[in-house]
Amino acid sequence: MIIETEEELIGMKAVSEAVAITLKEMKDYVKPGMSTLELDQFGATIMAKFGCKSAPFETYKFPGYTCLSVNEEICHGIPRADKILLEGDVINIDVSGELNGFWADNGGSIVVGEDVNGYQKIVNASISALQKAIAAVKSGVKIADIGGIIEKEAKKHRYSVIENLTGHGVGRSLHEEPLDLLNFRDPDDKRRFRKNSVIALETFISENSYEAVEQADGWTMIGNEPGVFAQHEHTILVTSEGPMILTLMNGNW
């Protein structure tokens, strides 16, 4: 989406606030012993207070209101009553929504309870990668260079990136141009960010994998090698001066 009017900016800010506050409250609510279904239902009640609809359900008929992916699951994890969170699990909470014809997307991985497994390190690497990538975004910047920043930061912490999962444009639908905002630098990608475009920039940081593989349920993605993952995502407005993070209140940092 290219924002052209003040009304469009107001609309994007409203839906971004809805999904961001939902994400933050879900992160504050989660605890060991809770099922991912309970967490999802809690998130649904928060979104409903804003009048916000679940984007994955509305767009793809996803079997849940939010995507909840645990440990070896990268993304698109289905909320389940029998998926019980344990102390030290890492969970990726992805919340996207639609409000009054505008769409926003954000997510964040956190450790559940105490960090008994040492997963906070990969969570911190993902946060750092997204912070540095977003800081470099402004109109005219090469899209490929932002992917390079994410990959460089992951490697600095001795992690890899998932190459077949990407960020994307957002605004009037959940996924729109520019598509394929990679987590690595593709030298063949000559595109540049456009002024006043809205994007969902996200990291996919891995212990060992480079590729996401879809599971038999048709939704959940895991890595091609064993290990855990961390992901963080913000919806941002690209300006000539730099990024405006529309979902900043989600508590990712």
Q: Which residues are annotated as a binding site for a divalent metal cation?
A: 94, 105, 168, 202, 233
- Cα gap 230→22, rounded to integer Å: 19
- Cα gap 83→207, rounded to integer Å: 22
Output the known binding site for substrate: 76, 175
Output the known binding site: 76, 94, 105, 168, 175, 202, 233
- Cα gap 218→241, rounded to integer Å: 41
Give how far Cα 243 sits from Cα of 55, 115, 135, 233, 236, Å.
23, 32, 7, 14, 6
Whether the bond between 79 and the residue before it is cis, its omega within 30 degrees of 0, is: no
Give how far Cα 206 sits from Cα of 19, 139, 140, Å.
25, 29, 29
Question: Which residues sit opposite 92 in a β-bridge?
Answer: 69, 109
